[in-house]
Amino acid sequence: MNNFEEKLNKYAEVIVKIGANVQKGQKVWVNCTTDSLPLVYKVTELAYKEGASDVHVKLTDDKLSRLHAEYQSKEVYSYIPQWAIDERNDYLDNNVVFIHILSSSPNLFAGIDPAKLGALAKNAGEAYKHYRTCIMTDVNSWTIASYPSADWAKLVFPDEIDADAAQEKLLDAILKTVRVDKADPVKAWEEHRQNLTEKAEFLNSKNFVALHYTSKGTDLTVGLPKNHIWVAAGSVNAKGADFLPNMPTEEVFTAGDRDRVDGYVSNKKPLSYQGNIIDNFKLTFKDGKVVDFEAEQGYEILKQLLDTDEGSRRIGEVALVPNDSPISNSGLLYYQTLFDENASNHLALGAAYPTNVKNGTKMTEDELKEAHINQSISHVDFMIGDSEMDIDGILEDGTRIPVFRKGNWAF
């Protein structure tokens, strides 16, 4: 077995056994592109060996996806057929675990009409509402991993002439972020999850009413809803099985108060959204809502995102990530939110996770809104942290407690 095969075997093991934690008799749904097939073969075989009853692979191809985006009309491109909705819902209702393997270039759809991309995002969000509910309330297990395509690798390593060499460099960087480079990756993940859990427990013990962020281009106060819950790396599905949603993950996160966000915030890393790059942007909030925005790159795409629905201009997720973390310390810019969000404090526009508020998974949409938990068909993370960021936790009596200083944990 060559070194490449050995790397993929270890990676597949981490994805199947730690990320998805495939159970005997369980169905598995793999979303992937043709670029990731070397890893998909490994994941599929191992899932079956772990006892999966059905591994359903949903395969797309970036070149074909780009052609569809270029030549189909807005109406055809954004249409979601009922059979596609029914197929996914049938798997959801039969204890499926989703494995998403990201490979596409972050600027795959650069130059495509933003209105076309916006219509697809809106229609898909509405069509797959049942899916979104099951995922965001942890009814079903799910995990997101990645595999480098040639185009993505070239974006991360633009000075690398050889495409194969660029892909190998990016794969090695990815494997390091998911601890596959460790002698015992499973043990390394257990230790990492425990460290994050301790941070979450401290934050939960304080019961802050708000966080105040300050850095260059940022002076923002984010309210936290009553009975909010800080969550670390792992989750548990409706049947009691553990799973790890994001691989990698360095965050501790909760829900923001949809009506109590005020001030302004600037991004510190590019945001890849719908195959486009949005960068050097600033959002201004008042009473929880974005009331003004600017962007040097991707302005129209950002506008489409903010106009997706009423909730897409409000904060759903508040996530804390120290600047002194493996991905940040690597110095690499991945142009992929899965990685870049784990190198930086970030916020998410759109839906909040009901799991981030006490009894949230049992609440109706109206009850979640009354609890100040944001609802939306979108959920888009953007990176705001840097080595200069300070964050204060504000108690109910107005007392401030340092949470971050100079980009890192203050406790």
The pTM for the full model equals 0.92
Domain count for the chain, please give it. 2
Instruction: Report the 10 Å Cβ neighbour count for 47.
Output: 25
3 alpha-carbon distance from chain centroid: 30
Residue 244: inside a domain, yes or no?
no
Considering the domain architecture, whether residues 212 and 164 belong to the same structural domain is answered as no
| Residue 1: per-residue pLDDT | 62
Residue 193 lies in a domain: no
With b meaning 16 or more CB within 10 Å and e meaning fewer, what string describes 120-144?
A: bbbbbbebbeebbbbbbbbbbbbbb
Q: Which helix (H) or strand (E) holds 150?
A: helix 150-156
What is the pLDDT, as a whole number, of residue 294?
98
User: pLDDT tens per residue, the chain (411 residues)?
Assistant: 678 898 899 999 999 999 999 999 999 999 999 999 999 999 999 999 999 999 999 999 999 999 999 999 999 999 999 999 999 999 999 999 999 999 999 999 999 999 999 999 999 999 999 999 999 999 999 999 999 999 999 999 999 889 899 999 999 999 999 999 888 888 888 899 899 999 999 999 999 999 999 999 999 999 999 999 999 988 999 999 999 999 999 999 999 999 999 999 999 999 999 999 999 999 999 999 999 999 999 999 999 999 999 999 999 999 999 999 889 999 999 999 999 999 999 999 999 999 999 999 999 999 999 999 999 999 999 999 999 999 999 999 999 999 999 999 999
Q: Are 123 and 80 in contact (CB under 8 A)?
A: yes
pLDDT of residue 185: 86
Same domain, 176 and 211: no
Residues 100, 41 share a domain: yes
Q: Are residues 301 and 167 in the same domain?
A: no
In which order are the strands placed within the sheet that holds 346-350? 252-255, 315-320, 346-350, 379-383
Compute the distance between CA of residue 149 and CA of residue 61 in angstroms, rounded to an integer. 11
165 Cβ neighbours under 8 A, 6+ residues apart: none
State the Cα–Cα distance between residues 373 and 307, nearest whole angstrom. 19
State whether 113 and 258 are in the same domain: no
What pLDDT, on a 0 to 100 scale, did the predictor assign at position 89? Answer: 98
Residues 35 and 139 reside in one and the same domain: yes
The Cα diameter of the chain in Å comes to 62
**254 and 170 assigned to the same domain:** no
Helices (H), 1-98: 3-13, 37-49, 62-71, 74-78, 82-92
Confirm whether 104 is domain-assigned: yes
Half-sphere exposure of 391 (CA within 13 A, CB side): 28
- Distance (Å, whole) CA 3 – CA 159: 24
Task: Give Cα separations from 280 to 118, 293, 353 (angstroms).
Answer: 21, 11, 27
Separation between Cα atoms, residue 124 and residue 103, nearest integer Å: 20
For residue 87, how far is the Cα from the chain centroid? 24
Distances (CA, A) of 355 to 134, 329, 352, 361: 11, 30, 9, 6
Residue 236 included in any domain: no
Residue 363 dihedral angles phi and psi, to the nearest 5°: -85, 150
DSSP string for 316-350: EEEEE--SSSHHHHHT---S-HHHHGGGS-EEEEE
| Cα–chain center distance at 312 | 16
Q: In the structure encoding, which two tokens stand for residue 22, read together? A: 């495939």
The whole-number pLDDT of residue 85 equals: 98
Instruction: Read off the CATH number of the domain in which 98 is found.
Output: 3.40.1830.10
Q: Two tokens at 164?
A: 């194969």
Q: Has residue 195 been placed in a domain? A: no
Query: For the purposes of burial, counting CB atoms within 10 Å of the CB of 193, is it exposed (0-12), middle (13-18) or buried (19 or more)?
Result: middle
Cα-Cα-Cα-Cα dihedral sign, residues 293, 297, 303, 308: negative
pLDDT at 367: 97
- Give the contacts of 322 (CB within 8 A, at least 6 positions apart): 250, 328, 404, 407, 408, 409
Domain hosting residue 259, numbered range: 207-231+250-409
Residue 345 lies in a domain: yes
**174 and 316 inside one domain:** no
Based on the fold, state whether residues 163 and 27 are members of the same structural domain.
Answer: yes
* Residue 309 and residue 403 in one domain: yes
272 falls within a domain: yes
Same domain, 318 and 358: yes
- Same domain? For 354 and 265 the reply is yes
* Structural domain contains residue 200: no
